[in-house]
């Protein structure tokens, strides 16, 4: 069992580099299954979610090589069309393989993570999109299977702009006869990145980054090379870190357009932001101002994935801030962990009220989930004294060696292996 030991209040400053986007690299690696050849994918972060995805690819028959930040996936031979429980349980987003695998092999069977507890609801939009294209679906209580029926390009109307459902709809329609139109598609930059990757291999996908995506079917895709976009959520994590620790940070490898929806609350808190080519400098004031109301929305709204870290910053702002979480139910679990540091937060349904406090103290806290974990880490960095953060496997899903990145800007943070609990 590993945990992070953080000595808060160290002076932070200097340059920190953002890695490639987790939420791009995962669907792009699934998309590599469509290519009868080699995908050379640059700027890939070394994350546990990426490692799980590579295991899935190897299980399916692809050959995978890694050269520093470049992954080389040779999917010339795909020999399996099912993904077992042990791999699916690791990562819910592996549902993205359903569209990719059925496109490539004509049949795909995936264990449903969480089984009956979660049921089919959280992927209902994915399944409806596949059915609309003519795929036949069956569920035996554990595995969801998808087979080619009389498939052809069609019009898919998403009732909600789901990122994953949009990606599955793209992956499952690339080879279909005719034209597929996805109406009310999600507009997240990671979807455009997936489309750019597939187009570079010969696909014909237009309109990704808008709410109407048009896919004209092609017969095959061929070897390609692609560079993953920077992770806007990781960048926003460092912005919240600068804000809560009253620091000046120079954040390298950012895309200003993708980051734009994150910026307004930082101005409202009184931070000064300076844009450079592919970089951003943020300078926090001595005392942060409150944010009147921040509402999470699908892109180009404020991202739900940045909400927990912004909440952490607001715990030391002057006055009370309101956060409305509109994408996920129950995405305030980090609030009770932040309160262990002395934060004053009340949560009711999808609204959190954050009353700023003057100081935070060290404590033992745990990561409730990936972004909640990042929030707890930055809270600890602003708290007086030594804190212990457990359940850090959540953080490793989305941040590459977080202790190394944060140490490079002056943070006193160590990863400790607790031998007794091993
Ligand atoms: C992706 C991101 C995740 C981010 C989220 C919203 C990846 C790997 N993950 O997740 O980091 O927080 O977008 O920006 O890219 N829903 C349904 N039925 C469905 C699909 C979704 O009810 O079939 C609901 C979900 O339960 C959730 C909401 O829609 O409440 C948003 O989900 P979605 O946009 O699909 O998120 P993901 O693709 O899972």
227-262 pLDDT per residue, tens: 999 999 999 999 999 999 999 999 999 999 999 999
What strand order describes the sheet that includes 279-283? 13-17, 248-252, 279-283, 272-276
Cα gap 398→91, rounded to integer Å:
12
Q: With beta carbons less than 8 A apart as the criterion, state whether 18 and 398 touch.
A: no
What pLDDT is stored for residue 421 in this prediction? 47
- Across the strands, what pairs with 364? 388
Interval 295-346: pLDDT, tens: 999 999 999 999 999 999 999 999 999 999 999 988 999 999 999 999 999 9
Band the pLDDT of 113: cuts 50, 70, 90. low
- The residue whose CB lies within 8 Å of the most ligand 1 atoms, and thus the one to mutate among 47, 113, 122, 169, is 122
Q: With beta carbons less than 8 A apart as the criterion, state whether 99 and 168 touch.
A: yes
**CA geometry: angle at 252 spanning 251 and 255, to 5°?**
100
What pLDDT is stored for residue 156 in this prediction? 98
- Across the strands, what pairs with 65? 72
Q: Report the pLDDT averaged over residues 199-203.
A: 98
- As a whole number, the mean pLDDT across the chain is 95
Residue whose Cα lies nearest atom 32 of ligand 1: it is 162
116 is catalytic: yes
For a pLDDT cut of 70, what percent of the chain falls above it?
A: 97
In short, whether 120's Cβ falls inside 6 Å of ligand 1 is no
Atom of ligand 1 nearest to the CA of 161: 34
**Window from 113-122, 294-303, 340-349, 380-389 with minimum mean pLDDT:** 113-122
Q: Tokens 């895309």 correspond to what residue?
A: 255
- The residue whose CB lies within 8 Å of the most ligand 1 atoms, and thus the one to mutate among 20, 52, 163, 398, is 163
Cα-based distances in Å from 366 to 110, 325, 377, 383 = 31, 21, 9, 15
Residue whose Cα lies nearest atom 18 of ligand 1: it is 122
Q: Report the pLDDT averaged over residues 43-49.
A: 96
In short, whether 26's Cβ falls inside 6 Å of ligand 1 is yes
What pLDDT is stored for residue 420 in this prediction? 53
pLDDT at 167 over 60: yes
In short, whether 326's Cβ falls inside 6 Å of ligand 1 is no
Residue 300: is the preceding peptide bond cis (ω within 30°)?
Answer: yes
Residue whose Cα lies nearest atom 27 of ligand 1: it is 328
Interval 352-382: pLDDT, tens: 999 999 999 999 999 999 999 999 999 999 9
In short, whether 125's Cβ falls inside 6 Å of ligand 1 is yes
For 246, list phi and psi in degrees, rounded to 5.
55, 45
The residue ranking higher by pLDDT, 139 or 279, is: 279
Cα gap 385→58, rounded to integer Å:
45
Cα gap 227→271, rounded to integer Å:
31
Coil, helix or strand for 191? helix
Neighbours of 77 (CB within 10 A): 10
């Amino acid at each position: 069992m590993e945990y992070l030991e953080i000595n808060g209040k160290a002076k932070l400053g200097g340059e920190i580099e953002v890695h490639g986007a987790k939420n791009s690299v995962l669907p792009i690696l699934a998309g590599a299954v469509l290519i009868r050849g080699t995908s050379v994918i640059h700027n890939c972060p070394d994350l546990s979610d990426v490692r799980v995805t590579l295991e899935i690819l190897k299980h399916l028959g692809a050959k995978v090589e890694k050269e520093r930040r470049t992954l080389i996936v040779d999917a010339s031979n795909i020999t399996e069309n099912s993904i077992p429980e042990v791999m699916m349980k690791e990562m819910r987003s592996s549902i993205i393989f359903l569209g990719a695998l059925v496109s490539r092999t004509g049949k795909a069977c995936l264990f449903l993570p969480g089984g009956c507890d979660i049921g089919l609801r959280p992927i209902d939009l994915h399944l409806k999109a596949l059915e609309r294209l003519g795929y036949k679906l069956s569920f035996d209580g554990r595995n969801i299977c998808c087979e080619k029926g009389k498939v052809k390009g069609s019009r898919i109307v998403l009732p909600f702009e789901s990122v994953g459902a949009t990606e599955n709809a793209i992956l499952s329609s690339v080879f279909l006869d005719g034209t597929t139109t996805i109406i009310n598609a999600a507009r997240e930059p990671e979807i455009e990145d997936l489309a750019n990757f597939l187009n570079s291999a010969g696909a014909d996908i237009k309109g990704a980054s808008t709410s109407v995506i048009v896919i004209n079917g092609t017969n095959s895709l061929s070897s390609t090379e692609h560079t993953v976009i920077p992770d806007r959520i990781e960048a926003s994590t460092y912005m919240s870190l600068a804000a809560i620790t009253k620091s000046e940070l120079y954040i390298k490898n950012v895309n200003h357009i993708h980051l734009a929806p994150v910026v307004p609350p930082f101005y409202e808190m009184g931070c000064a932001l300076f844009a450079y080519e592919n970089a951003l400098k943020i300078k926090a004031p001595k005392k942060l101002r409150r944010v009147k109301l921040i509402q999470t929305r699908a892109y180009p709204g404020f991202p739900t994935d940045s909400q927990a870290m912004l909440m952490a910053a607001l715990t030391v702002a002057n006055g009370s801030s309101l956060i409305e979480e509109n994408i996920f139910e129950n995405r305030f679990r980090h609030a009770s962990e932040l309160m262990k540091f002395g934060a004053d937060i009340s949560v009711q349904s999808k609204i959190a009220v954050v009353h700023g406090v003057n100081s935070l103290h060290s404590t033992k806290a745990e990561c409730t989930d990936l972004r909640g974990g990042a929030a707890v880490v930055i809270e600890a960095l602003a708290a007086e004294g030594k804190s212990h953060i457990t359940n850090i496997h959540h953080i490793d899903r989305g941040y590459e060696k977080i202790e190394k990145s944060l140490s490079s800007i002056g943070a006193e943070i160590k990863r400790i292996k607790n031998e007794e609990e091993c």
